[in-house]
Structure 1
Amino acid sequence: MLKTRQPAPEMSFPLLDGGTWTLSERKPESLSMVVAYRGVHCPMCRNYLQDLNQHMDEFKARGVDVVAVSGDGKERAEMAKKDWELSEVPIAYGLSIDKARELELPISTSRGKTSIGIEEPEKFSEPGLFLVKPDGTLYAAFIQTMPFARPPLDQLLKAIDFIKEKDYPARGEA
Structure 2
Amino acid sequence: MQNDIQTLIPRQPVPELTLPLVGGGEWSLTNEAPDTFSILIFYRGWHCPVCRKQLEEAEALVEKFEQKGAMLTAISVDGEDRAKEMHESAKLDKLKLAYGLTLEQAREWGLFISTSRGLTSVNVEEPIKFAEPGFFLIKPDNTLFYSSVQSAPWGRPALEPFLNTIDFIVDKNYPARGEIVTLD
The answer, yes or no, to whether TM exceeds 0.5 is yes
C-alpha separation in 1, matches of 2:76 and 2:158: 19
Deviates further, 13-22 or 115-124 = 13-22
- Tell me which residue corresponds to 1:71: 77
Matched, 1:31 2:37: yes
Pick the aligned partner of 1:159 from 125, 140, 165. Answer: 165
Deviations, residues 84-113 of structure 1 (Å, cap 9, x unaligned) = 111111111001100001101000000000
CA contact under 8 A between 2:62 and 2:71: conserved in structure 1? no
- Tell me which residue corresponds to 1:7: 13
TM-score if structure 2 supplies the norm length? 0.92
Deviations, residues 5-42 of structure 1 (Å, cap 9, x unaligned) = 01011111111122211111111111111110000000
Select the structure that is richer in helix: 1
How many residue pairs were aligned?
Answer: 174
- Tell me which residue corresponds to 2:3: none
- Tell me which residue corresponds to 1:121: 127
TM-score if structure 1 supplies the norm length? 0.98
Letter in 1 for 2:80: K
Deviations, residues 128-152 of structure 1 (Å, cap 9, x unaligned) = 0111100111111110111111111
Q: Which runs of 5+ in 1 are unaligned?
A: none
1:83-98 aligned within 5 A: 83-98=89-104
Q: Which runs of 5+ in 2 are unaligned?
A: 1-6
- Tell me which residue corresponds to 1:168: 174
Equivalent pairs: percent with the same residue? 46
C-alpha separation in 1, matches of 2:51 and 2:155: 11
The 3-state SS of whatever aligns with 2:83 is helix
C-alpha separation in 2, matches of 1:144 and 1:12: 23
RMSD over aligned Cα atoms: 0.8
> Offset of 1:56 from its aligned partner?
0.8
Deviates further, 150-159 or 40-49 = 150-159
Matched, 1:61 2:67: yes
CA contact under 8 A between 2:52 and 2:90: conserved in structure 1? yes
Deviations, residues 37-66 of structure 1 (Å, cap 9, x unaligned) = 000000000011101111111111001111
Letter in 1 for 2:126: E
- Tell me which residue corresponds to 2:4: none
- Tell me which residue corresponds to 2:156: 150
